[in-house]
Every structure is written in C-alpha cells, then in structure tokens.
Structure 1
C-alpha cells in the first residue's frame, strides 16, 4: 500500500471543523475514563467524534486504500454500513464525482440518528464548499439500519463498504459462540443483497496506542472467521493520529481510547503529536468466495 511522502500531514479543517476546535475541554474531561462508553459517544457526541477522526490517517494510507477499492472496477450502487458521521461517505463521493457514474447511488446506513444527522450536515457543508458536486451529493441516501437487517432488495448492491463497525455487531457483549452466530447472520445478509460480481470491503482496527499492528484479542474470533471461513484477504495499513498539540492529543486520546493509550503519544519535531494506530482492510469478492 503506498504511503504519502509528507509525514507531517495535518488535516486542514473547514470552517465548521474550526468551530469544533473551540469545544470546551472540560466537557471532554468529564467523560474521560479508562473504559470509554463508545455507545454513548456515538449516540450523544457525534460532533466530537467527527472532530477526532480528522486527526487520523496521517500518511493517508486509509484514504489510498479506499481509492484502490473504488478503482478496481465500476460500481453503480454502493452501500456503506455504520456510516457514522460520513468519513467514508465524503471520500467516496469525492472520488465518484471524478468518475462516470450516471446511474450511481450511495446508501449510507447507521443505527445512530445523531451520527446520520452529523453526516448529512457534513455532506451539505462539503457541497457548499465545492468539495463534492451537487449532482454527486444528490446521489446520497441516508437511512437507519443495523448490519444484520438491511432495508435492501436481494441482489441490488455492487459494493459494500464498512469501516470500524462490523466488529460492534459481531463482538460487543457476545461470547465466542455468539460471535460466530453474529458473523454468520451478517454475512448472510450482505451476500443476500450483493449482485453477482459484487464486493465487500471491511476496515477494522489492528490497534491504537500500540507499538505494532495486531488483531485485538476481542476481535480474534471475528477476524479468524473472515479470513479462514469466508476467505477475506487482509491488507495492513498505518493510520496513525497526528494531533496539533500535546494538550489536544491527551484529551482526545483519553476521551475515546482510554488513559493507557496516552503512554504511546510521541511529540514530533514540528510540534505535532503522533498516536500510533493501525487498520486492516479485508476484501471479499462474491465470484471468488469460498462455498
């Protein structure tokens, strides 16, 4: 996977993002713990989560991986699971604006109303700033849904993308046996809606605040099933966070990842602060699937 030569890349926030920078640190601090409540964050703190993800992927390896998936072949109908505040949505729509996509549509699904509201706001802002063309933005459809029950017809989708989300549907509050059942339900649903030749691309964490990429213990049953049972192929990416200051780095890291991850915060020579983070991309092609 190619990397960007500029290791000092720091996201250039929009006016809306700049406003988020003024968020009261005391509000973040009040929610800090060693075990952050991610369900509460997704439901109640979507704007703060959106602010955090601007700092991730300092070498742009994740972004390049999305571009490579889209470049494989034409996709008319793309569906995103767990779309959140629109991180994938914005990248994909920007890419598709530069392609022939006359019959294209993009369906962003998420179980959180707050996340989808933030996504809608982000896309509207991008369209106003000219980052996404109005005709491309009009191809976006937003709907609440969970992974194992998609509001989609059989054989109606060309590409399914899911970033840091299927793991929750499979692993959260489930023992290994329940995880196996959950991944089977989700895979049955995904393959139901895929057209012949369709593709699934799933991004999941390989650790944040860790010295090297590795499948977290809590995801091992799930990832093993993806690779060994279903035949997904893995690519490892370096997707570290780069914060503008140590103060910002400590607050955001503690807020979302817990205090232990702060031990890996590393100042750089330009004053920015790096938190190592790794991501895996797992790709599955329906025509090449194991049966």
Structure 2
C-alpha cells in the first residue's frame, strides 16, 4: 500500500484512472448541490489533486482556484479544464496551512480527501495542523460563505468505517469546529475485475486487492464522509 507521502507521487494516469471510477452513482455532485448553490460563486478547491471536484463544479462557478502542493497534479487539473473550454480558473501550488489567497475572497471552499494528510493522528502535531488549516479557511471565506470537506469512511466497506488514525480529526470537525456531517456511498465501478484489483491493490493495499480478486468484483463499495458549515 502506498504511504501517505507517496500518494501524490503516484501520478498521474493510475491515480486519475482510479478516481474516475469512483462514485458511479453520482452521490457526490448531488450532495454538493444539496448543501450550496455554486452558481456565480468564487470557489477554492483545497488539495485539488487531479481536479476531481474542481472539474465537477467549474462550469457552475463565477471563478475557481485549484490549490495543491503537487504541481504535477495541478498540471493534470489544468489540462482537464482547458479541454472543458472554461476560462474562469486558476491553479495555485501551496500548503493548505499557508494559502496565498486574499482575506474574504471566496464564497465556497471545498477540500476533498486532502486535510486528512495533515490532520491524521499519525502526525504528532495533527491538532496544530488542523487549527492552521481551519484558520486559513476562516480567513479566506467571505461572511455567509460555506466550507465543505470530504474524507474517506472506508473503501471496500458498505457501511461507514473510517480509519482509526482519522477518528480524532473527524471528531474535531464536529465537536470543536462545528461542522454538520453525513455519510454517503461513493462506490467504484471498474471496467473489469482485473482493473479493479490492480488499481485498488496499488492504492489501498493487498487486503482489498485480495478480496477483489477472490470475489471478482467490478463494483467496489465505498463510504465517504461529508462535513460542511456556513459562516
């Protein structure tokens, strides 16, 4: 299984192919639309990666800025946005704990599967890291704005089951920072069991890879947590 610090080095074709298979039922865009209207809004996607969320909402927004510490990932995002023919976007290479955007410049901030890399209890300073990210989000967000965070609640699981090393982070979002929360299914649909095994084994580890191989799965269940709040 890839270590956390290796994931963004796992660029770009295998990673991008994996995330393109996620949420074949479309629950993520439906949930985002339930939380907030993206129309004519200035939006930032923190930890944008290869642009999964950025491209999902770009055509709806007034403007969107994709932020990530990995320039290679953002080049993939930029290429996708170019192919979409939209012109309302920028990319920004930055650490989520120190974001070079102006105060009160955004209506909506999204962070998908990204804050976990600094908020994991595997880091001794996870609480300080999380505080720094939240301070930056509060600084950038306009009054009346909305922040939405998406994180894993278990790949290969049909019921929410987040990893132990993220439990404190998730609890802090709700208990300390005042986020609302819901869990949604974001199952993967692969072209074949071989593709499912190969991609999931590389990214999620041998236990899931072995399960997929044994059962010849092309649909891999997944649960995702969505946290949001307005300011």
**TM-score scaled by length of structure 1:** 0.74
Summarize the alignment of residues 135-214 of structure 1 with structure 2, pairs less than 5 Å apart: 137-171=86-120, 173-175=122-124, 178-214=125-161
1:247 Cα deviation after fit: 0.8
1:170 Cα deviation after fit: 1.5
Q: Deviations over 1:196-226 (max 9, x none)?
A: 1111000000001224212320101111110
Name the SS of the counterpart of 2:78 in structure 1.
helix
The aligned counterpart of 1:280 is: 225
Does the 8 A contact of 1:206 with 1:215 survive in 2?
Answer: yes
The counterpart of 1:58, out of the listed 18, 24, 30, is 24
User: Relative to structure 1, is the Cα distance of residues 199 and 75 closer, same or farther in structure 2, using a 3 angstrom cutoff?
Assistant: farther
4+ residue runs over 2 A deviation: 37-41, 66-71, 73-76, 262-268
Summarize the alignment of residues 40-79 of structure 1 with structure 2, pairs less than 5 Å apart: 40-71=6-37, 74=39, 76-79=41-44
For this pair of structures, how many residues does the alignment match? 231
Runs (5+) with no aligned partner, structure 1? 1-34, 128-136, 287-291
The aligned counterpart of 1:37 is: 3
Runs (5+) with no aligned partner, structure 2? none
Does the 8 A contact of 1:266 with 1:274 survive in 2?
Answer: no
1:187 Cα deviation after fit: 0.7
The counterpart of 1:262, out of the listed 201, 209, 229, is 209
The aligned counterpart of 1:92 is: 57
Q: Deviations over 1:49-99 (max 9, x none)?
A: 11111111122111211232342x7552111100111111111013x0xxx
User: Relative to structure 1, is the Cα distance of residues 159 and 284 closer, same or farther in structure 2, using a 3 angstrom cutoff?
Assistant: same
The aligned counterpart of 2:190 is: 243
C-alpha RMSD of matched pairs (Å): 2.1
Does the 8 A contact of 1:153 with 1:193 survive in 2?
Answer: yes
Larger radius of gyration: 1
**TM-score scaled by length of structure 2:** 0.92
